[in-house]
A and B are shown apart, each in its own frame.
Chain A
Amino acid sequence: MRCKISFAAFLIASTVMITACGGGEPKSDEKSAESSTTEKPADQAGTETEVHGTEVKPGDVKLETPLNAEWVTAGKGIYDMKCQSCHKLTDERVVGPGWSGVTKRREPHWIMNMITNVDMMLEKDPEAQKLLEQCLVRMPNQNISQDDARKILEFMRQNDGVK
């Protein structure tokens, strides 16, 4: 399974999102291109080619059992390198919340967006904003692709006891 999003679905979803936000947002395509460089003026920014920053929509992520063992292993490898500094596998909060139970508390697309599209989340998602108030450190962009984020999600599911 690949975590691709059709452009049409993205456009529709963006429109819905803008409406929901009262229409005060800049054009959605500019916004998505800008999400990893929030401080830059939109009309001057260079073309962002990195995968980071494209929104994952509800329903985009399919969860299956049994777990994909390869993804679990790859996900743990990424966790060790890029996540472990701030997230324990228990429920202990260090810099960020512990991961125990996270796949039960959060929707899969919410988790994926928190990993790959954090600027959008901290700007718009009330739950993400609550977490920032608690932790006081912005969840960093760790330059993780959607495919890699999906593998991390698989590792989280295993951590939560899914077989």
Chain B
Amino acid sequence: MSRYLNRACLSVGVLAIVLSALPGCKPKTTSTAATGDATKSYVAPGKYDEFYNVVSGGFNGQIGVYGIPSGRLFRIVPVFSQSPESGYGFSEETKAMFNTSHGFVPWDDLHHIALSQTKGEHDGRWAFANGNNTPRLARVDLTTFRTAEILEIPNSAGNHASPFITENSEYVVAATRFSVPLDDQNGDVPINTYKQNFKGSISFVAVDPTTGQMNIAFQIRTPGVNFDLSRAGKGKSHGWFFFSCYNSEKANTLLEVNASAKDKDFVMAVNWKKAEEYVKAGKGKKQPVKYAHNVYNEGTHSATSTILNEVLVLDPSECPDVLYLIPCPKSPHGTDVDPTGEYIVASGKLAASIPVFSFDKIQKAIADKAFDGEYDGIPVIKYEAALKGEVVKPGLGPLHTEFDGKGNAYTSMFVSSEIVKWSLSDLQVLDRVPTYYSIGHLSVPGGPTAKPHGKYMIAYNKITKDRYLPTGPELTQSAQLYDISGEKMKLILDFPTTGEPHYAEAIPASMLTDKQKKIFKIEENAHPYAAKGEGQAKVERKGNEVHVWMTAIRSHLTPDNIEGVKLGDDVYFHVTNLEQDWDVPHGFAIKGANNAEILIMPGETQTLKWKADRVGIFPFYCTDFCSALHQEMQGYLRISPASSSTPLTFSTGTNKPAVTPSESTEKTESK
């Protein structure tokens, strides 16, 4: 510790003398930590950031998109949660995105981000994210920053070790945190029959290289442990996956104690190329299950949900050489693979050291059968046979490791609230910086790829406490930006984040900015209720449903007078935004809507369903300030009693019947 203090003193020494404001070098206070150049995080007004930071929102089910180095928040992308901004999950078109085998599940817990890769590097196409609670995987299109697809994962409970990705985006994985009785088994069993009845499951979800569409290629049945995190091999270890497992005790109660009994749990190495061979050879068995696959179509501006009924399963007892276990000190959490693919860094979160495994040694151990028995029929490789070495006394509570591509690793330490920089070659600790407070994940731009972009490191802290102006019992989350371009890590910025960020990735802005979609072309709008021009605006009754084909353009809605709707009718407002210019959305809201409002992008059609629950006049209007006459962008809907004979009429710009003589001349009706 004193050596660390000395280094910190030296690095700030000059500055301290100049300022003559630092009486000493107290550790872990803002004054010593924030010695970095504040201008390093400054992005001048009108200038762009260097990186996009795609950050999981944790329990809010969303993704936050921030700029690095400024820490500015650009966008909240709703993924597993309904959005009170766009109407995602509320509009008729997007409700299907939340369909599952359990029905409509509008909120989930989003933990990890995986950006698509080609040849081990970012390719800037998609971001994948996991839904932890009701197990799901999502794909976000990085040209629209919208959720394009959600796939439910069967035989899973707590999709935590997900959505880690292979170096050519062949697969994203989904491994279950909770082992459970399988979906086709009778689950009505005593909980304490865990050891007999509970199984684990790893899904390999194939990603279509062109469309990005996901499908479950196969699942591997595993012993009933808890899977925590994972990484794909890369380079020399491409074809392998590494999962951290805890609860090898198979406890079903008070895991805090009972799942921490053993000295070592496991890292599970999966030879997925070998698994593919077994699938090709017909070794997979079809298991009846039920899960939803939801896809958003940008042409029809609508999502469809399909329920699937089968999954292909590989049983390791019939497929040797696919699974191997490597002992790992107490309850490993992060399992991270370095840019070369040679080193697998597993962080035993209750251990006092960080084991670093060698891919070459693992291969040799398998070839030499350097095993230490079996666990549920799966060979356990001897710890020393797989181990390159341990990082000794790195700090307390190691969780996750990222890499800078210069031979350095950065490990977050939850318990001791710090980040430790160490050398991959000799496993020596090089530097440490405090975090405020209790860091969870950390992110280096490109950190999980074969070619990290380096330069910055972001800490996502679990505890905020006194870092910001207090806002009652609930506080913003605290992220911190460090400059890692030099030998010493330097804290340069605090920035607040929404939800509770877990993992995040950062990607150079230059890979995404030019690809951003600005409008949806109205000519290409294939929505069945699109009004592609005011001439197509209309109102039609189908039984007790009333469909309104409505258009929006600065600054009127067509039609804006609607009569003849009756008490009890379901009214569907299909609103098409006729604008074709960037950044001109229109909104739509109507009094008494039980559902939501909607926001419609240029060229898009979205639908709000509304119940006519009482007789009267109901105003509707545009909710997105669109022009100087935005406040004029409004209309009225009249609800008559069910027995009324009021005819269904609609218009814009013409009173029916005319109220004043001057208005009733031979003007062309817009309708």
Contacts and interface: CB of A to CB of B under 8 A. Distances in A.
Interface of A: 36-37, 40-41, 44, 46-47, 80-82, 84-86, 88-90, 92, 94-95, 136-138, 140-144
Interface-central residue, A37, A41, A44, A84, by most chain B CB under 10 Å: A84
B581 A80 contact: no
B46 A41 contact: yes
B638 to A, nearest CB: 23
Interface stretch (B159-167, B425-433, B437-445, B519-527): B519-527
Interface residues of B, number: 34
B556 interface: yes
Nearest to A144: B580
Contacts of B542: none
Given A44-B46, A138-B627, A143-B581, A85 B668 contact: no
A140 B628 contact: no
A94 B653 contact: yes
Given A37-B582, A140-B579, A90 B668 contact: yes
Interface stretch (B25-33, B119-127, B345-353, B530-538): B530-538
Instruction: Report, nearest first, the 4 A-B pairs whose CB atoms are least far apart.
Output: A143-B580, A141-B581, A81-B533, A80-B533
B46 A95 contact: no
Contact of A82 (B47, B533, B627, B629): B533
B558 interface: yes
Contacts of B521: 143
B102 interface: no
Central interface residue in B519, B521, B534, B667, by most chain A CB within 10 Å: B534
Nearest to A90: B668
A163 B312 CA distance: 69
A130 B554 CA distance: 18
Interface of B: 46-48, 513-514, 516, 519, 521-523, 532-536, 551, 553-556, 558, 578-582, 584, 627-629, 653, 667-668, 670
A149 to B, nearest CB: 13
Contacts of B555: 95, 137
Given A37-B582, A46-B513, A143-B580, A92 B667 contact: yes
A136 B584 CA distance: 16
Nearest to A46: B514
A89 B533 contact: no
A85 B534 contact: yes
A138 B579 CA distance: 12
10 contacts: A44-B47, A46-B513, A81-B533, A88-B668, A89-B668, A90-B668, A95-B556, A136-B628, A137-B628, A140-B554
A84 B534 contact: yes
Given A41-B47, A137-B628, A47 B535 contact: no
Contacts of A84: 533-535
B580 A82 contact: yes
Contacts of A137: 554-555, 627-629
Contacts of A41: 46-47
A81 B532 CA distance: 5
